[in-house]
Amino acid sequence: MQSTMVEYAKSLDEQDALGTYRNEFYIQPDIIYMDGNSLGLLSKRAEKSVLTLLDSWKQYGIDGWTQGEHPWFYFSETLSEMCAPLVGASKDEVIITGSTSANLHQLVASFYRPEGKRTKIIADELNFPSDLYAISSQLSLHGFTGDEHMKLVKSRDGYSLQEEDIINAMTNDVALIILPSVLYRSGQVLDIKMLTEAAHERNIMIGFDLCHSIGSVPHELDKWEVDFAFWCNYKHVNGGPGATGGLYVNRKHFGGKPGLAGWFGSDKEKQFDLSTQMIPATNAGAYQIGTPHIMSSSPLYGSLEMFAEVGIDAIREKSLKLTNYMMTLIEHELSEYNFVIANPRETEKRGGHIFLVHDEAARICKALKVQQVIPDFRSPNGIRLAPVALYNSFEDVWKTVQILKLIMKEQRYKKYENKRDVIA
């Protein structure tokens, strides 16, 4: 079978229009990095933008707020304009600010308006737990409990969600819906357009967590009329550990009062009037709370430059080719080792990573790391492998599967305990 030969992988790399971007990243010798859906690699451009912002502090001190190559007072807005194409929005509907959980708290505080019997929030049992913690916390501020007022849509198979089940949960006791765009374990892409239309037909506002889709999957939030969204920028966007997050608010909600007020949510022309009465910005900037995290935002400038050059559609095209190729190799090379491919096979339903299920997943991941392949373990039995379009090659994919085959054939995983480390 030609596709299982390394020469075939190399031929795909020779034809890859994005192949040169691999040189933009710091890739360690002999390491195959397959964990970009947890933390993207450092690019040389991101490093440069960090040093540029650091130099403005060194040169200008407090005057860095208005001077230098990237004045800090407007830096969040600069990044927002660069990021907006990744979510299909206009620049004034996006703001780079906060973290995933902080932004979720802000958005729930702003758009959860329980009234009468409409008191419940729809979420799902497969979502990253941090979102569920924040939703439960917000419910408690209204005197409600998560057990009674958070409606968790159940999975039929433990890996995926059915849009039909989500829509059936949209009953007349629901005030708000918060869902992931891509499920963090299985990589399933939800149909945002369908779900938003169904929610609005029932007069329910709906928002999405884009953490596992931004930078790997195109979005059309404006076109789909999504109410709000939020995300981190350290996975596929390669903004670095603890990178500043982002949020989107549809312009139809502009002029509303933010649930959590803070001075950087002020109209920028009036912010330094320091009035005792806040005058919020008339765009997504109103949902900022505190002073921008300039150093945590600085890598994003260099990273987003590359996204602007390449375009999210080209990234998605290569991402799908990489994951398709990986699935083909897994099915051919690992068929006797009891792996289950638990991510969706359909291209329109698959995000940027492969999800393998195996009873020995934790120890297999440890064995992969010893062989210098960096995977991601998800309890209880999942292995995530994310070939990232900007810096992974088809040969990386081929080598990963061959190393995995060697580990299974020689039972090297049996040297390790089948439980996760402190950080999985």
Binding residues are 100-101, 128-131, 209, 212, 234, 263, 291
- Measured CA to CA, the distance from residue 125 to residue 123 in angstroms comes to 7
Query: How crowded is residue 297: how many other Cβ atoms within 10 Å of its Cβ?
Result: 27
Give the DSSP letter of residue 268: T
- 84 contact partners, CB below 8 Å, separation of at least 6: 90, 91, 93, 94
For the CA atoms of 389, 293, 286, 309, the dihedral, rounded to the nearest 10 degrees, stands at -30
Contact 53, 424 (CB under 8 A): no
Q: Is 17 exposed, middle or buried (0-12, 13-18, 19+ CB in 10 A)?
A: exposed
Q: Which stretches does DSSP call E strand in 273-414?
A: 340-341, 354-357, 373-374, 376-378, 382-385
Annotated binding site for pyridoxal 5'-phosphate: 100-101, 128-131, 209, 212, 234, 263, 291
Helices marked H in 115-274: 129-141, 146-149, 163-168, 192-201, 221-224
Alpha-carbon 19 to chain mean position: 23
Amino acid at 50: V
